[in-house]
Every structure is written in C-alpha cells, then in structure tokens.
Amino acid sequence: MQKGQVRKAISGFYYVYADGQTYQTRGRGNFRVKNMAPLIGDFVDFESDNLTEGVLLDIYPRKNELIRPTVANVDWGVIVMSAIEPDFSSYLVDRFLVYLEAKNIRPIIYVTKIDLLDGTAKEEMLHFKTYYESIGYTMILSDYPESSTSLKKLVASIGKGMAVFMGQSGAGKSTLLNQLMPELGLETGEISTSLGRGRHTTRHVELHPVGEALIADTPGFSTIDLVEIEAVELPSLFPDFVALRDQCRFGGCMHINEPNCRIKEAVASGEIAPYRYEHYLQFHDEIVGRKPVYQKNKNKR
C-alpha cells in the first residue's frame, strides 16, 4: 500500500502521483456505497503492481473542499483580476476574498493588463495594492509583456503549496496559465462585446507542477455564491475588521446598528477603506436575505 495525491481524473480513472511516478487507478466499489468520490488534490492510500492497474483504497481527511472548481486540500487561491477591459472590480475581489477566508485558503490577488492603464488609473491601482497588503494580503501587479518578474513573484508566493486560479472572466486567466505552463497550450477566450465578459475556456481540473508549486488548471468563472457562509461569521472573514473588533463596545458586534462600534469609527476616519465596509454590508444583506433551503423528510408518508 502506498500514499499519493490525485492530480487528474478522467473517465473514471484517477491519476495518483507518488514517489515521482504517476499511477492510473480506479476507485473501490465501497466509495460508491459510501457516496464518496475522490477529488483532485485528495491524498489517498492505493495499491498497484504497475503504473496502469492501481486501486484506490482510502481517502485521507480533507482540510478544505471547493465545489467550483471541484478540488480539495487547497493552500492558495489566486484571484485573477483585470485592470481594464473588463474594469477592475474591488467588489468582486472582496467577494472572492471572503469565500477563500471561509475555506481557510490563503489568497493572492493577481492583476493583469496593468500596461494598458494610464498614469491616473495606475495610481488608483497602487492605492488598492497598498491597502490590501496592509491587511495581510499579497497583491501582484502584472508587468507583462515587459518582463516575467510578476510571474516569478507569483510562483514564489505559492512556494511548495497547491493553488487554484479563479476570478474575473476575461481577465486573462488562461493566458496567465499559458505563461506559467507553455506546454498546456490552453485556448484563450475572447471578450464578448455584447456581454462584456469572456468565454470559459478550460474544461477539466488537473494539477500541474510549476517549480515547487502545484497549480490547478481550473475553469474560469466570474463570481461565486456565499451560500455556505452564515451572517454571524461574516465579520471574522474581514481581517481589517478582526484587527479592531475587540475595541467594539459589545462582544459579537456585527458592526451595523450597534453603538460605539470601533469598526464604524474606523470607516469614518478612513482607517478601514469605506468600499470594504460597503461590500461587507452588501454581503451581509445577501446572506440574511437568502431563502432557507428545506430538506424533504424522507420518513414522511
């Protein structure tokens, strides 16, 4: 029996990497009985006498699991955003950040098309970078086509971890993956002039080694749902709020209607970026206002 990691799954086969080799395996029947399925990124026990006829035996507990894309045990989430065409959206960035915080995945914000900005727009982008980095996030501004410095910084930031790419459609995610892994030759989608967003171009999830990192080639998508996040946990998903929340008058302050709220004071003074607080309120209203999901009682006759 060996331990390995699932790095690709196609047509019922799971490709497990272990000790420098890739083994083609199939899952045991008891996975179906338990309603379990291995995911890309899973650590598994398997046995195999050769590279093409292995059998998966067990799946190790996951530290996290994503639905879009379907992948497990993620260390880093690279949020790929465009500086222009489509325009940079701090709302979308914050939405992805909250999603990743809830999954205990460290974010990296990577902004493409910086070379298309004029001087004023570049200054504004630098303000975003300064703020996000002040609250503990990594934000990388692309320097393509001038040099590959930003790509090297991205790979260095991921280190030995496993990363998924997500973010704005049309931001150049497939182009970025092609720059990191030229052997992939991924198609890049054109921007739809009528819809203002790019076509999704990648088709399946696979982990690829880049330096010491593992990078998942995942289908791009333009937004995510916050259905797994409850309103009470939302304040803890904003690190700029967390740093000051103990100074609020009331424990468990939601930073909305409570008096003597340190967060609202920090927003008023500019210590916390007002746009961050606005997005917090929007996310809160969305979570509170969503319809409850009722499960059918299977025992009801």
Going by the annotation, the residues of the binding site for Zn(2+) are 248, 253, 255, 261
Tokens of residue 185, six digits: 């030759």
Q: Which residues line the annotated binding site for GTP? A: 112-115, 167-175
Q: Which residues line the annotated binding site? A: 112-115, 167-175, 248, 253, 255, 261
Q: Which amino acid is at 234?
A: L
| Contacts for 99-104: CB closer than 8 Å, 24+ residues apart | 99/224, 99/226, 99/229, 101/236, 101/237, 101/238, 101/239, 102/226, 102/228, 102/229, 102/233, 102/237, 103/64, 103/66, 103/74, 103/77, 104/63, 104/64
The Cα-based distances of 37 to 40, 44, 210 in angstroms read: 10, 11, 27
CA distance 32 to 30: 5
Q: Which amino acid is at 156?
A: A
Residues 6+ apart with CB under 8 A from 40: 6, 7, 8, 9, 70, 71, 72, 205, 206, 207, 216
CA distance 66 to 103: 8
What is the DSSP annotation of 258-272? -SS-HHHHHHHHTSS
